[in-house]
Amino acid sequence: MASVELKNVCKSFGSVEVLRDVNLSLEGGEFVVFVGPSGCGKSTLLRLIAGLEDITDGELMIDGERMNDVLPAKRGISMVFQSYALYPHMTVFENMAFGLEQAKLSPDEIKARIAQAADMLQISEYMERKPRQLSGGQRQRVAIGRAITRQPRVFLFDEPLSNLDAALRVDTRLEIAALHKRLADTTMIYVTHDQVEAMTLADRIVVLNAGNVEQVGTPLELYANPASQFVAGFIGSPRMNFIGGEVAAGHGAATFGIRPEHVDLSRDKGLWKGTVRLTEALGSDTFAHVDTETAGMVNVRLAGAERIGEGETVFLTPQTEAVHLFDDAGWPVRKAKAA
């Protein structure tokens, strides 16, 4: 059970500051996801923990031990790279054994560890193949297997699903969730730009934006109580409707936020009158983009395959308790009372 703690961690490349005063405290055995748009510093943060980048300022502690100047190999971590980083000239077995041989484990121990990991990931039959003879999903498993065999205290994933196709991504996501359950003692840190991965995998999510930690919380906390307009827009799919102008001013805010699933649609009465411009039917849900007179374009979620014609006139009413209000700097204003 390895806790990870970052105290006022800063990182600059030359004069470019990519991380500013990051304070985080991860409990042992936790699955934490760093999420944010590209360039927010999430991968850099992961690489600082791995030791692939030096910490410019601040402290990194693993299990209460200061790690700033400890070599990557001595930190008790494993990392799964976005590109898998398998050695192309070695077989699957050799790929997994390479680091273990370096750690001076006995050949029997190495074989046992690899067999166990291979079994867990169902890659036993590929042990003698080269990475180029494997599919993307198989390579991914080998990369995860290689990381498992090191029996790390902290498991790091750097966007591990981004090179897989959509169907495989969902499968692998589930496998990683299952892996976390099996390795319950291992702390896992997972970097992604995909908020769906973050929501489904994480015990806690760390939302990063432009080198700052915007919010830390459980997926549902972030969904229900975003600490900023950025988090509100980033978490949830499709994204929250942000409405400015009169509607927001009426609530004493600069921006009025409401998620598509929190808007009621009626054909005869409601708060905002508008015309349906576009519908997206996904089977389980239908999303209607409604052009309203007072609130501009609003995206509304309709349950099931409810049919609604494009060009139809409809009325929208936001659910009062689900409204989020933000000031012009993007910070939340007190919760709206009544619409």
Partner 1 sequence: MSAIPETSMPTAPVTARTSRLSRERIRSAWLFLAPMLIVLAGVALYPLYRTIWFSFTDASLDLLGEARFIGWRNYLEYVDYGNGDGEWFGLLADPRWWRSVWNTVWFALVSVSLETAFGLVIALVLHKKFPGRVWVQAAVLIPWAIPTIVSARMWAWMLHDQFGIVNDMLQRLGLIDAPVAWTASPETAMIAVIMVDVWKTTPFMALLILAGLQMVPKDMYEAARLDGVPPIRLFRKVTLPLIMPALLVAIVFRALDALRVFDIVYVMTPNTDATRTMSVYARENLFDFDRFAYGSAASTLLFFIIALITIGFIYATRMNLEGDER
Q: Enumerate binding residues for partner 1 (CB under 8 A).
A: 50-52, 71-74, 77-79, 81-83, 85, 87-89, 98-99, 102-103, 128, 150
Nearest distance from C-beta of residue 265 to partner 1, angstroms: 28
Comparison of 83 and 135: residue with beta carbon closer to partner 1: 83
Q: Is the backbone of residue 307 left (phi > 0), alpha (psi -120 to 50) or beta?
A: beta
Comparison of 89 and 267: residue with beta carbon closer to partner 1: 89
Nearest distance from C-beta of residue 83 to partner 1, angstroms: 6
Nearest distance from C-beta of residue 53 to partner 1, angstroms: 10
Alpha-carbon distance of 48 to 145, in angstroms, equals: 23
Nearest distance from C-beta of residue 253 to partner 1, angstroms: 45
Comparison of 33 and 143: residue with beta carbon closer to partner 1: 143
Tokens read off for 283: 């089977």
Contact in structure between 130 and 89 (CB atoms under 8 Å): yes
Nearest distance from C-beta of residue 72 to partner 1, angstroms: 5
Tokens read off for 215: 């919010």
CA 139 and chain centroid, separation: 22
Contact in structure between 114 and 126 (CB atoms under 8 Å): no
Nearest distance from C-beta of residue 15 to partner 1, angstroms: 17
Comparison of 45 and 79: residue with beta carbon closer to partner 1: 79
Alpha-carbon distance of 49 to 24, in angstroms, equals: 12
Comparison of 100 and 240: residue with beta carbon closer to partner 1: 100
Rg of the chain, C-alpha, whole Å: 24
13 by Cβ neighbours in 10 Å (0-12 / 13-18 / 19+) ranks as exposed
Comparison of 46 and 314: residue with beta carbon closer to partner 1: 46
Nearest distance from C-beta of residue 77 to partner 1, angstroms: 7
Contact in structure between 275 and 312 (CB atoms under 8 Å): yes
> Smallest Cα–Cα separation from 91: which of 142, 128, 125?
128
Tokens read off for 328: 């012009």
Comparison of 74 and 269: residue with beta carbon closer to partner 1: 74
Exposure string of 287-312, with b = 16+ CB inside 10 Å and e = fewer, is bbbbebeebbebbbbbeeeeebeeee
Q: Which long-range contacts (C-beta less than 8 Å, at least 24 apart) are formed by 108-113?
A: 110/149, 113/149, 113/151
Comparison of 51 and 217: residue with beta carbon closer to partner 1: 51
- Which one-letter DSSP state was computed for residue 333? P
Nearest distance from C-beta of residue 68 to partner 1, angstroms: 16
Nearest distance from C-beta of residue 276 to partner 1, angstroms: 21
Q: Is the backbone of residue 197 left (phi > 0), alpha (psi -120 to 50) or beta?
A: alpha
Comparison of 78 and 138: residue with beta carbon closer to partner 1: 78
